[in-house]
Chain A
């Protein structure tokens, strides 16, 4: 079996929590919200979510630990923005699996059509 280099493995493992962090509908909504906008404050992000500011803060922390969002100070405010690279990595990994399914289903096609 091919072995990845240690550096490659370490780099991938850094991204590992991305998927579990996204496996929550509130967090997905926060990410979607940040995806379509400029960096936003917690006050702004809490509006219309139906959950408390503390709740939003907790979710942002999970996303931040996974490297999906990042806080930045702006004056007295903390603004949150999206780390697009993490989401890109998640998307690319899915594309690879998708390509493997294409190949597998090609074999099925040959098998049933022969």
Chain B
């Protein structure tokens, strides 16, 4: 059993687009917001800055997406910390542990290889993670099904 697997997620995706294009999609806050599902008009990712914007998904418009930028290496790497499932508006998440999301770009034949890692889950309570919002309805439905299965299995 691989025990350490509970702490991080790693995704690799090949994008048929030049590296500069991918870089602006992940590092330009306004562009990032468009596919990630957050309104970040007029915002910018700069090192140390906390960037906030309303979530675009109609079911979650009352929520504010928030991330603090940790590192920016142009066209190579950008990382930020967030509370991966801050969906309770009445709760103060500021003191709770964050996860670190890293986007890493590398040239690949015909496009760009993007590696995304999210780490630090071992410090996030399980009940919190299940509320993780990623701006997608079917994602949420999947989650609910998974939670129900889990509840059934552990009852």
Can you list 13 A-B pairs, Cβ within 8 angstroms, ordered by A? A11-B154, A12-B130, A15-B127, A19-B123, A22-B122, A88-B153, A90-B6, A92-B146, A93-B126, A95-B146, A103-B139, A104-B135, A111-B34
> Are the CB atoms of A89 and B126 closer together than 8 Å?
yes
Q: Is B155 an interface residue (CB 8 A)?
A: yes
Tell me, yes or no, whether B143 is within 8 Å of chain A by CB. yes
Assuming the A-B contacts A7-B151, A12-B147, A112-B15, are A99 and B142 also in contact, with contact meaning beta carbons closer than 8 angstroms in the complex?
A: yes
Q: For chain A, which range describes its interface: under 10, 10 to 19, 20 to 34, or 35 or more residues?
A: 35 or more
User: B interface vs A, CB < 8 Å?
Assistant: 1, 3-7, 9, 11, 13, 15-17, 21-22, 25-26, 31, 34-37, 59-60, 84, 87, 114, 116, 118, 121-130, 132, 134-136, 138-140, 142-144, 146-148, 150-151, 153-155
A1-B87, A112-B15 as given contacts; A100 in contact with B123, CB under 8 Å: no
**A7 to B36 alpha-carbon distance, docked (Å):** 32
Q: Which residues of A contact B26 (CB under 8 A)?
A: 108
Which A residues are in CB contact (< 8 Å) with B147? 4, 8, 12
Q: How many A-B pairs fall under 8 Å by CB? A: 149
Minimal Cβ-Cβ distance residue in B for A98: B9
Complex: how many Å from CA A20 to CA B125? 7
Chain A: minimal CB distance from B98 (Å): 13
- Interface of B: prevailing SS: helix
Residues of B within 8 A of A108 (CB): 13, 15, 25-26, 35-36, 114
**Is residue A102 contacting chain B, with contact meaning CB distance below 8 A?**
yes
Stretch at the interface among A30-38, A42-50, A51-59, A69-77: A30-38
B23 to chain A minimum Cβ distance, whole angstroms, is: 10
* Residues A105 and B144 in contact in the complex (CB < 8 Å), given A1-B59, A87-B3, A98-B11: no
CA distance in complex: A105, B11 (Å): 9
Which chain B residues border A32 with CB–CB below 8 Å?
Answer: 1, 3
> A4-B147, A92-B146 given. 9 additional CB < 8 A pairs?
A8-B147, A15-B154, A19-B6, A28-B4, A32-B3, A94-B6, A103-B136, A109-B13, A112-B25
